[in-house]
């Protein structure tokens, strides 16, 4: 379901612009990192994103061969095995090649539980479509203080 | 919004029933908030993955092995294994068990199995001893905690059969789909994180496909009569399931005009093939699904005047076969592709599937250098031993095993460039994404792949010559068919 909402006025400076979105926190926490945006459904299972190195393995996916390590990963919703939940946990907590946070149009429950176990923030139901609003390389800050409550996503784009 | 808890659930959360239950309840409550659940449901079945229990996960050598063997779930158990009072809720009727893992525990050293084999000219594979010991340690821990570590994909067939209206938590997608569709018990495609916790509490937040509104059909998929009458083999049912899910664009659908008298294996294959990619693990098979005696019931009372309708034709099935055989196409000419491994049983083979392989291979010999593997669950494994199917398969040089499955071994570390023929949609569809370098796949019915194990070469049967012709030509050729012949072409 594509949302077409006009971008709201942003604070312009000479170097960068800022966009603030609000959504719902599905896993609590704070994170600030570079965004990695997937235009298609995405999954965390070990056959999609390597557990030992965090590299995107699946042929034909955006960012194939790149690493998700330390990024805030933006994707519409999940695809693939339920083991994505524990593979996400493994990457964050054990191999230290996990993402810093998740942003989805609509996050699927097993990704929520993976994010909670990994203690990284996860946000969905934003007031603008994150897939089109956030661009690769933007610096994104998630502030999600409490599960089920309002969360903010601040996007900083270098001009 | 806080969840309404029963007195017992609140007491677990308050720590009155011990540290483990409190620890798990806290995590489930957090999850419940995130999915906006209003209450908890009691579970009759929990299905997740058995852990690899390592003393020291941080040791670099062990960590490297774990990256290959562990799905990521093992460390979740560590805090629970340290607790003195850890015991699953089986006294309240929650049966807790697991998906297959990488060895049959009593045959670790035997050769010719997925955990220890050689492909002449291509290389060999053997599981790591340390990992096997740690898997055994995890398995023993679970036994101590009251789990029934059945290491099976389909406990719903013979180990704990949920009834209509009961709740389960299955992180095995195909099992979730079967439990919802055939038994009308209720489960989500559950997260393997939650299934660790809800095993110890016996309850979990009510959300997703537990709720009526998320089980409603959104459209109708109807099978052509030609499809109904010609879908015969296990792989056909896999392709059919995939076509149904594709037509409905992975939404929940009501399915009309299914073949009568589906065998256990056919049902399992049909449903498990619809499950990958379907986030809501539910089909309404009209005439089969208990909670959907009518289309109105399948749509949960919200049936539109003209629901979207899609048709599945035989051409769709053939196209799906072609697509699956082109995902990671095996080398060789169309008519004869050399194979290394022939494998049946993902999800685990039902008894009728095991019997079929035994019947096809009986009195023949598997070609030197080719592996024929049949993987099944524990009850079926012992039934096959009892009734002679195991003997037929082993005398021919094939192998049958339980507790494990090829995809749960570190498949990425198999020898390169192997060719695998299978009747499992799940293997082709998912395996094409996680095999070793150059692994290629052939998708076919048991008749043709068992023959491939005997000859070492996969050849599609005459049936495909028939089905590859344009429809008019096919129908015209039927006119010349003598009456005493079977009304449909041979299966291949």
Q: Does the model's pTM come out above 0.75?
A: yes
Instruction: Please give the pLDDT value at position B335.
Output: 83
Q: Predicted confidence band at B358 (pLDDT cuts at 50, 70, 90)?
A: very high
- Among all residues of chain A, which has the CA nearest to that of B29? A147
Tell me the pairing of strands B341-349 and B371-376.
parallel
Residues of A in contact with B438 (CB under 8 A): none
pLDDT value at B149 more than 70: yes
Q: Predicted confidence band at A13 (pLDDT cuts at 50, 70, 90)?
A: low
For residue A156, the distance in angstroms to the closest alpha carbon of chain B comes to 27
Is the CB of A51 less than 8 angstroms away from the CB of B67? yes
Instruction: Please give the pLDDT value at position B463.
Output: 81
CA distances (Å), A8 to each of A13, A131, B255, B415, in order? 15, 16, 45, 55
Is the CB of A86 less than 8 angstroms away from the CB of B188? no
For residue A106, the distance in angstroms to the closest alpha carbon of chain B comes to 11
Q: Is A81 on the interface with B (CB under 8 A)?
A: yes
**How are the residues of chain B apportioned to helix, strand and coil, as percentages rounded to the nearest 5?**
40, 15, 40
Is the CB of B190 less than 8 angstroms away from the CB of A110? yes
For residue A137, the distance in angstroms to the closest alpha carbon of chain B comes to 28
Is the CB of B190 less than 8 angstroms away from the CB of A94? no
* Contact (CB, 8 A) for B281 and B209: yes
> What percent of chain B is predicted at pLDDT more than 90?
83
Instruction: Please name the member of A48, A51, A147 whose beta carbon is closest to the beta carbon of B34.
Output: A147
Return d(Cα B359, Cα B393) in angstroms, integer.
Answer: 9
For residue A11, the distance in angstroms to the closest alpha carbon of chain B comes to 32
Residues of B in contact with A23 (CB under 8 A): none
What is the pLDDT averaged over residues B209-238?
95
Angle at B214 between CA B209 and CA B215, to 5 degrees: 75
- Among all residues of chain A, which has the CA nearest to that of B207? A109
Residue B57 tokens read as 């996960």
Neighbours of B302 (CB within 10 A): 11
Q: Which residues pair with A37 in a beta bridge?
A: A74
Q: Quote the mean pLDDT of chain B.
A: 93
Is the CB of A81 less than 8 angstroms away from the CB of B49? no
The pLDDT tens digits of the residues spanning B15-51 come to 999 999 999 999 999 999 999 999 999 999 999 999 9
Buried/exposed B44-59: b ≥16 CB within 10 Å, e otherwise: bbbbbbbbbbbeebee
Instruction: Please give the pLDDT value at position A10.
Output: 56
Instruction: Please give the pLDDT value at position B481.
Output: 63
* Contact (CB, 8 A) for B279 and A108: yes
What is the pLDDT averaged over residues B226-243?
93
Nearest to B34 by CA among A141, A31, A44, A151: A151
pLDDT value at A9 more than 70: no
Residue B246 tokens read as 């594709």
Q: Predicted confidence band at B453 (pLDDT cuts at 50, 70, 90)?
A: very high
CA distances (Å), B297 to each of B213, B291, B301, in order? 12, 7, 6
- Give me the sign of the Cα torsion angle B329, B335, B340, B346: positive
Return d(Cα A44, Cα B116) in angstroms, integer.
Answer: 29
Neighbours of B237 (CB within 10 A): 27
- Among all residues of chain A, which has the CA nearest to that of B65? A52
Q: Predicted confidence band at B316 (pLDDT cuts at 50, 70, 90)?
A: very high
What is the pLDDT averaged over residues A20-35?
97
| H or E, element range at B217 | none
CA distances (Å), A12 to each of A5, A19, A130, B180, in order? 19, 10, 20, 52
pLDDT value at B484 more than 50: no
Instruction: Please give the pLDDT value at position A6.
Output: 54
- Among all residues of chain A, which has the CA nearest to that of B170? A82
Is the CB of A109 less than 8 angstroms away from the CB of B191? yes
Q: What is the DSSP letter of A94?
A: T
pLDDT value at B234 more than 90: yes
Which has the higher per-residue pLDDT, B470 or A93? A93
Q: Quote the mean pLDDT of chain A.
A: 91
Q: Is A97 on the interface with B (CB under 8 A)?
A: no
CA distances (Å), B286 to each of A81, B229, B265, B279, B450, in order? 27, 17, 19, 21, 33
CA distances (Å), B378 to each of A102, B52, B342, B403, B406, in order? 40, 20, 21, 7, 16
* Contact (CB, 8 A) for A56 and A24: no
What is the pLDDT averaged over residues A95-120?
96
Residues of A in contact with B34 (CB under 8 A): 25-27, 109, 112, 116, 147-148
Instruction: Please name the member of B31, B68, B71 whose beta carbon is closest to the beta carbon of A83.
Output: B71
Q: Is A106 on the interface with B (CB under 8 A)?
A: no
Which has the higher per-residue pLDDT, B355 or A9? B355
Residue B221 tokens read as 């998929």
Is the CB of A83 less than 8 angstroms away from the CB of B192? yes
Is the CB of B189 less than 8 angstroms away from the CB of A89? no
3-class secondary structure, B50 = coil
Residues of B in contact with A92 (CB under 8 A): none
Return d(Cα B187, Cα B189) in angstroms, integer.
Answer: 7
What is the pLDDT averaged over residues B388-399?
98
| H or E, element range at B45 | strand B40-48
pLDDT value at A67 more than 60: yes
Q: Is A108 on the interface with B (CB under 8 A)?
A: yes
Helices (H), chain A: 84-93, 109-118, 130-133
Instruction: Please give the pLDDT value at position A5.
Output: 57
Residues of B in contact with A85 (CB under 8 A): 171, 191-193
Instruction: Please give the pLDDT value at position B85.
Output: 95
Residues of A in contact with B30 (CB under 8 A): 116, 147
Q: What is the DSSP letter of B288?
A: T
What is the pLDDT averaged over residues A37-44?
96
3-class secondary structure, B380 = helix
Instruction: Please name the member of B31, B171, B433 whose beta carbon is closest to the beta carbon of A112.
Output: B31
Instruction: Please give the pLDDT value at position B274.
Output: 82
For residue B116, the distance in angstroms to the closest alpha carbon of chain A comes to 22
Q: What is the DSSP letter of A52?
A: T
Return d(Cα B118, Cα B112) in angstroms, integer.
Answer: 7
Q: Is A69 on the interface with B (CB under 8 A)?
A: no
Instruction: Please name the member of A47, A94, A148 whose beta carbon is closest to the beta carbon of B33.
Output: A148
Residues of B in contact with A26 (CB under 8 A): 34
CB < 8 Å from B in window 127-146 of A: none
Residues of A with catalytic annotation?
Answer: 81
Nearest to A21 by CA among A134, A148, A147: A134
CA distances (Å), B173 to each of A57, B164, B243, B281, B332, in order? 22, 18, 18, 7, 34
For residue B444, the distance in angstroms to the closest alpha carbon of chain A comes to 23
* Contact (CB, 8 A) for A89 and A99: no
Residues of A in contact with B191 (CB under 8 A): 82, 85-86, 109-110, 112-114
Residues of A in contact with B193 (CB under 8 A): 85-86, 89, 110, 113-114, 116-117
Instruction: Please give the pLDDT value at position B276.
Output: 66
CB < 8 Å from B in window 7-36 of A: 25-27
Return d(Cα B167, Cα B217) in angstroms, integer.
Answer: 20
* Contact (CB, 8 A) for B255 and B177: no
pLDDT value at A11 more than 60: no
* Contact (CB, 8 A) for A156 and A137: no
The pLDDT tens digits of the residues spanning B261-299 come to 999 999 999 999 887 667 889 999 999 999 999 999 999
* Contact (CB, 8 A) for B328 and B441: yes
End-to-end CA distance of chain A: 29
Is the CB of B34 less than 8 angstroms away from the CB of A26? yes
Q: Report cis status (omega within 30 of 0) of the bond before B347.
A: yes
The pLDDT tens digits of the residues spanning B66-112 come to 998 999 999 999 999 999 999 999 888 899 999 999 999 999 999 99
Residue with tokens 């941080």: B58
């Amino acid at each position: 379901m594509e949302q077409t909402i006009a971008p709201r006025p942003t604070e312009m400076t000479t170097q960068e612009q800022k966009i603030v979105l609000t959504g719902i926190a599905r896993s609590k926490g704070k994170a600030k990192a570079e965004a990695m945006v997937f235009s298609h459904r995405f999954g965390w299972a070990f056959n999609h994103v390597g557990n030992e190195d965090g590299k995107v393995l699946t042929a034909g996916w955006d960012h194939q061969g790149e690493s998700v390590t330390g990024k805030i990963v933006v994707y519409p919703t999940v695809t693939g095995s339920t083991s994505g939940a524990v593979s996400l946990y493994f990457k964050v907590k054990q191999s230290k090649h996990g993402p810093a946070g998740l942003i989805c149009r609509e996050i699927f429950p097993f990704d929520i539980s993976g994010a909670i176990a990994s203690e990284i923030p996860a946000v969905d139901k934003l007031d603008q479509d994150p897939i089109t609003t956030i661009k690769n390389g933007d610096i994104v800050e998630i502030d999600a203080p409490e599960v089920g409550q309002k969360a903010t996503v601040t996007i900083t784009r270098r001009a | 919004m806080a969840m309404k808890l029963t007195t017992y659930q609140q007491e677990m959360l308050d720590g009155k029933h011990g540290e483990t239950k409190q620890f798990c309840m806290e995590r489930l409550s957090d999850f419940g908030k995130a999915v906006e659940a209003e209450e908890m449901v009691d579970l009759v079945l929990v299905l997740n993955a058995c852990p690899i229990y390592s003393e020291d996960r941080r040791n670099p050598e062990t960590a490297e092995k774990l990256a290959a063997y562990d799905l990521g779930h093992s460390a979740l158990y560590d805090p629970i294994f340290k607790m003195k009072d850890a015991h699953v809720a089986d006294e309240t009727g929650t049966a807790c068990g697991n998906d297959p893992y990488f060895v049959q525990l009593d045959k670790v050293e035997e050769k010719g199995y997925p955990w220890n084999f050689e492909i002449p000219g291509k290389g060999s594979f053997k599981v790591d001893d340390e990992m096997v010991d740690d898997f055994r340690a995890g398995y023993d821990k679970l036994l101590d905690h009251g789990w029934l570590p059945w290491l099976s994909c389909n406990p719903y067939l013979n180990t704990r059969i949920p009834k209509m209206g009961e709740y389960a938590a299955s992180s095995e997608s195909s099992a979730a789909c079967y439990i919802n569709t055939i038994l009308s018990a209720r489960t989500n495609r559950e997260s393997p994180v939650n299934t660790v916790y809800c095993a110890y509490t016996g309850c979990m937040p009510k959300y997703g496909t537990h709720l009526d509104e998320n089980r409603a059909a959104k459209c109708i998929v109807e099978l052509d009569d030609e499809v109904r009458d010609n879908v015969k083999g296990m792989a056909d049912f896999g392709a059919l399931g995939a076509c149904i899910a594709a037509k409905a664009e992975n939404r929940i659908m009501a399915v009309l005009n299914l073949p009568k008298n589906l065998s256990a294996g056919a049902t399992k294959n049909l449903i498990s093939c619809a499950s990958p990619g379907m986030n809501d693990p539910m089909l309404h098979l009209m005439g089969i699904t208990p909670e959907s005696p009518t289309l109105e019931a399948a749509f949960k009372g919200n049936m539109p005047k003209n629901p979207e309708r899609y048709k599945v034709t035989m051409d769709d099935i053939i196209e799906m076969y072609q697509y699956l055989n082109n995902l990671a196409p095996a080398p060789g000419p169309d008519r004869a592709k050399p194979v290394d491994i022939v494998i049946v049983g993902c999800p685990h083979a039902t008894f009728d599937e095991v019997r079929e392989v035994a019947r096809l291979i009986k009195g023949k010999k598997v070609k030197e250098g080719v592996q024929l593997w049949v993987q099944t669950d524990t009850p079926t494994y012992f039934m096959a031993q009892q009734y002679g199917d195991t003997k037929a398969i082993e005398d021919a040089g094939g192998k049958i095993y339980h507790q494990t499955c090829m995809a749960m071994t570190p498949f990425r570390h198999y020898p390169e460039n192997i060719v695998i023929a299978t009747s499992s949609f799940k293997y082709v569809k998912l395996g094409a994404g996680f095999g070793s370098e150059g692994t290629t796949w052939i998708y076919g019915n048991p008749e043709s792949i068992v023959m491939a194990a005997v000859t070492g070469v996969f050849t599609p049967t005459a049936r495909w010559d028939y089905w590859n012709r344009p429809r008019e030509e096919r129908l015209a050729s039927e006119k010349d068919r003598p009456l005493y012949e079977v009304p449909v072409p041979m299966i291949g």
